[in-house]
């Protein structure tokens, strides 16, 4: 990781400034059919505890990656990770783990018992990430995506 990165909580105002950079990071995966295309309204959607648990990583003003998490869960008591992405040149350097740890820390403080996430079955990088960071496949599918859980 760079020595001068910042991992910052996403406020509504910051999301409004940064979502186009998030959409650029997502673009190759959207084009490949592995992530749904999101518009401004998706990034900006108001969800319980979203502005506490969601974070972005920046180096200076350059956006490296982000994770959007809210309490709009798929399971009682669990927070839900709606989307995580790290820009190509910055992958495999620990930024997605850092974003996860920040969400976990705040989520646990808020009383969530874990976090859920959905994975497209063809998304190999997400499978590797989930397996290396302690998630478990719940054995269920939601709209064709695998449901994964991480207990705090």
Tokens of 82: 């709606």
Cβ at position 116, least distance to ligand COA in Å? 11
Which has the closest alpha carbon to 61: 17, 105, 127?
17
CA atoms within 13 A on the CB side of 148: 21
The nearer residue to ligand COA, 9 or 94, going by C-beta atoms, is 94
Binding site for ligand COA (CB under 6 A): 29, 84-86, 91-97, 117, 119, 123, 125-126, 128-130, 132-133
The nearer residue to ligand COA, 86 or 106, going by C-beta atoms, is 86
119 three-state secondary structure: strand
Q: Are 70 and 47 in contact (CB under 8 A)?
A: yes
Task: Give the integer Cα–Cα distance in Å for 130 and 16.
Answer: 28
Cβ at position 127, least distance to ligand COA in Å? 8
Q: Are 65 and 57 in contact (CB under 8 A)?
A: yes
The nearer residue to ligand COA, 52 or 115, going by C-beta atoms, is 115
Cβ at position 54, least distance to ligand COA in Å? 14
The nearer residue to ligand COA, 62 or 111, going by C-beta atoms, is 62
Cβ at position 87, least distance to ligand COA in Å? 8
């Amino acid at each position: 990781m760079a020595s001068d990165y910042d991992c910052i909580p996403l406020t509504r105002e910051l999301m409004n400034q940064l979502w186009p950079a998030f959409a650029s990071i997502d673009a190759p995966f959207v084009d490949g059919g592995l992530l749904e295309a999101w518009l401004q309204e998706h990034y900006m959607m108001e969800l319980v505890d979203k502005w506490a648990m969601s974070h972005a990583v920046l180096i200076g003003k350059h956006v490296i990656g982000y994770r959007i998490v809210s309490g709009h869960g798929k399971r009682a008591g669990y927070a839900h990770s709606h989307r995580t992405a790290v820009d190509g040149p910055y992958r495999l350097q620990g930024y997605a783990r850092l974003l996860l740890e920040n969400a976990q820390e705040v989520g646990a403080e808020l009383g969530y018992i874990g976090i859920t996430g959905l994975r497209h079955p063809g998304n190999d990088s997400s499978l590797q990430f989930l397996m290396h960071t302690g998630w478990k496949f719940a054995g269920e599918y939601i709209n064709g995506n695998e449901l994964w859980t991480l207990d705090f």
